């Protein structure tokens, strides 16, 4: 059986491009999306390119939805080779400064960006263990790096918002903990930094394309047996050019 890859938030942006690239490489891609119409349109677009794509309704903030999706994957395929925890939000509520952060913004951001990853990973872990050598990729960000954010010069200097960066730092820790739990298995767990990509998340202000960001994710999703686990890897801007391992 071909590789089966589930991507959350796959109806647009980096998630859609990840599905496109994995599908183009021969994987059966499961387009996870909470909106059925958008998910089905994404599936149709992928099928139009000759990709084996299936839509699965999946709201990472709804445990019943997640469990139903995992049950469907089990019934259809009995395994999962790749899980890409891509679904994420940036809530713009209240002020930008830490002292202006609202609890509503903080809770909503963590519910999707962090709790959603744990919910989906736990629901599908049995299926990932059933695959020969599964890969879990948690889509993080360079702004989740404490080292990068604790600077006095450069483009990160004036970024002081709490919800989104803090959620991505939490994603990094979640990644490390799953990698430790699964270190004696063939499963590899890594966090990806796609870089500053033009997506709806940032009102398309990024200078990298969603396709470029997805390349980072796909590399981690297709690591060989001797590849790393428990790492934050991806675009190195603004510290350097190219891709590599980022500091926590």
- Which residues does the annotation mark as catalytic? 164, 168
Cβ atoms within 10 A of the Cβ of 68, count? 16
Q: Report the residue count for the chain.
A: 248
CA distances from residue 167 to 29, 134, 163, 175 in whole angstroms, order as listed: 27, 25, 6, 12
Using the structure block, give the residue that is written with the tokens 């803090």. 166
Contact 142, 193 (CB under 8 A): yes
- Could you give phi then psi for residue 241, rounded to 5 degrees? -95, 155
SS (H, E, C) 18-81: HHHHHHHCCCEEEEEECCHHHHHHHHHHHHCCCCCEEEEECCCCCHHHHHHHHHHHHHHCCCCC
Tell me how far apart the alpha carbons of residues 123 and 246 are, in angstroms, rounded to a whole number: 29
Q: What is the DSSP letter of 101?
A: B
- What are the φ/ψ torsions at residue 30 (nearest 5 degrees)? -105, 110
Task: Write out the two tokens for 146.
Answer: 């404490």
DSSP state, residue 199: S
């Amino acid at each position: 059986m071909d590789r089966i890859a589930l991507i959350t938030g796959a109806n647009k942006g980096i998630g859609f491009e990840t599905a496109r690239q994995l599908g183009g490489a021969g994987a059966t891609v499961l387009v996870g999306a909470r909106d059925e119409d958008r998910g089905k349109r994404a599936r149709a677009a992928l099928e139009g390119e000759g990709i084996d794509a299936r839509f699965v309704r999946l709201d990472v903030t709804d445990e019943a939805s997640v469990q139903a999706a995992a049950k469907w994957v089990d019934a259809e395929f009995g395994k999962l080779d790749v899980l890409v925890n891509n679904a994420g939000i940036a809530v713009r509520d209240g002020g930008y400064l830490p002292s202006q952060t609202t609890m509503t913004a903080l809770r909503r951001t963590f519910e999707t960006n962090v709790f959603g990853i744990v919910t989906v990973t736990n629901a599908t872990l049995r299926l990932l263990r059933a695959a020969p050598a599964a890969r879990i990729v948690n889509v993080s960000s360079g702004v989740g790096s404490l080292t990068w954010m604790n600077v006095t010069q450069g483009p990160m200097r004036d970024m002081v918002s709490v919800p989104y960066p803090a959620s991505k730092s939490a994603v990094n820790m979640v990644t490390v903990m799953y990698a430790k739990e699964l270190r004696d298995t063939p499963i590899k767990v890594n966090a990806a930094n796609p870089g500053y990509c033009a997506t709806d998340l940032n009102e398309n202000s990024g200078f990298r394309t969603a396709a470029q960001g997805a390349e980072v994710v796909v590399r981690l999703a297709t690591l060989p047996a001797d590849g790393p686990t428990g790492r934050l890897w991806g675009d190195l801007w603004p510290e350097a050019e190219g891709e590599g391992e980022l500091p926590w």
